[in-house]
Amino acid sequence: MSQHSSVEALLNVAEQTIKAAGCASLITLDEFGYPSSRAVAAFPPDAKFSRVVIGTHPDSRKNLHVLREPRVALSYVDNANRGYLTVIGRAHIEADSEEKTTYWVDRFSAFFPEGPGSSDYQLMIVVPERLELRSFGLKVAEEPTRWRPVILAKDKAGDWRQTH
């Protein structure tokens, strides 16, 4: 069982897992209903883990998939701690967000030469509904033979609760 008993401690481990992973895999559903995965440079979630932001292009497959089916997953792997975090939620696209400059890093210039103000640069906002977390190194796991993650889900008020 997890040695972290509070939701706040579990969210802290989730943040550590994201930092250790460096990048995430975004899983969407394609036009045939099959999972489609790609590496993305997601920005760290906000303090309450209420959203994760990804810079994107309007013609990308991920955008097209999300516009058709908003259910997505983000997967982060922390090899050093033998852990992972899966963020499950719904995504939407913000094409004209004033936050585009907030969610911009210089390396994006190679893909968006006109900068964050370009209509080609959009934000995908993932609103998490459930988190699945395991980390043997950070003491968030049941016995290795049970293979069940710790699960946090949002309640009706939007607060995280441990469900398993």
Look at residue 45 and tell me if it is in a domain: yes
Cα angle, residue 15 at apex, residues 12 and 20 outer, rounded to 5°: 125
The pLDDT, as a whole number, for residue 32 is 95
In the 8-state DSSP scheme, what is residue 140? B
Residue partners of 46: CB distance under 8 A and separation at least 6: none
Structural domain including 154 reads: 7-162
Look at residue 102 and tell me if it is in a domain: yes
The pLDDT, as a whole number, for residue 1 is 42
Per-residue pLDDT 10s for the chain (164 aa) are: 455 569 999 999 999 999 999 999 999 999 999 999 999 999 999 988 999 999 999 999 999 999 999 999 999 999 999 999 999 999 999 998 889 999 999 999 999 999 999 999 999 999 999 999 999 889 887 666 667 899 999 999 999 999 87
Look at residue 2 and tell me if it is in a domain: no
Look at residue 33 and tell me if it is in a domain: yes
The pLDDT, as a whole number, for residue 132 is 96
- What spatial distance separates the first Cα and last Cα of the chain, rounded to whole Å? 10
Q: What is the CATH number of the domain that holds 34?
A: 2.30.110.10
Look at residue 58 and tell me if it is in a domain: yes
Instruction: Please give the model's pTM, rounded to 2 decimal places.
Output: 0.91
Look at residue 70 and tell me if it is in a domain: yes
Look at residue 36 and tell me if it is in a domain: yes
The pLDDT, as a whole number, for residue 140 is 87
